[in-house]
């Protein structure tokens, strides 16, 4: 299996959740909750993970106009994980 934690998700709503100790990640579609918990512990060793909530984000239609006409398509299905921490804090902006 490839990298479990693909990237952190940073939006206005998810930034408000960070104040409550909840952090969101785009994760591998086939990763389980225990896989995600282990990956967070490995990447951020100074935090303690409480629970992990996952959701499959559905495909959405996309399209664009080109010189040859309109091109239709869909974006990929992906998985989002919201990790609640017992202790510690993650700072996404200090990472390189």
What pLDDT is attached to residue 89? 82
- Determine, yes or no, domain membership for 43: yes
Express each pLDDT in 48-86 by its tens digit.
Answer: 999 999 999 999 999 999 999 999 999 999 999 999 999
If one counts the domains in the chain, the total is 1
Give the start-end residues of each E strand in the chain.
5-8, 22-27, 48-57, 61-66, 69-74, 78-87
- Would residue 56 count as lying in a domain? yes
pTM, full prediction: 0.83
Q: What is the rounded CA–CA span in Å between residue 51 and residue 83? A: 6
Residues forming a β-bridge with 79? 27, 56
Q: Is residue 32 part of a domain?
A: yes
Asked whether residue 62 is domain-assigned, the answer is: yes
In a domain, 96, yes or no: no
Domain that holds residue 40: 5-89
pLDDT confidence of residue 93: 73
For residues 30-56, give the mean pLDDT: 94
94 within a domain of the structure (yes/no):
no
Give residue 2's pLDDT band: very low, low, confident or very high (50, 70, 90).
Answer: low
Residue 16, domain CATH: 3.30.70.330
Distance CA 12, CA 53 (A): 19
Flag whether 47 is in a domain.
yes
Domain assignment of residue 48, yes or no: yes
Res 41 pLDDT > 60 = yes
């Amino acid at each position: 299996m490839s990298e479990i934690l693909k990237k952190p998700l940073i939006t206005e709503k998810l930034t408000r959740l960070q104040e409550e100790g909840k952090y969101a990640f785009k994760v591998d579609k086939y990763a389980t909750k225990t896989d995600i918990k282990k990956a967070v512990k490995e990447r951020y060793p100074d935090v303690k993970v409480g629970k992990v909530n996952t959701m499959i984000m559905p495909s959405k239609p996309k399209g664009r106009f080109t010189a040859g006409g309109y091109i239709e398509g869909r974006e990929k299905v992906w998985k989002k994980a919201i990790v609640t921490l017992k202790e510690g804090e993650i700072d996404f902006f200090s990472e390189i």
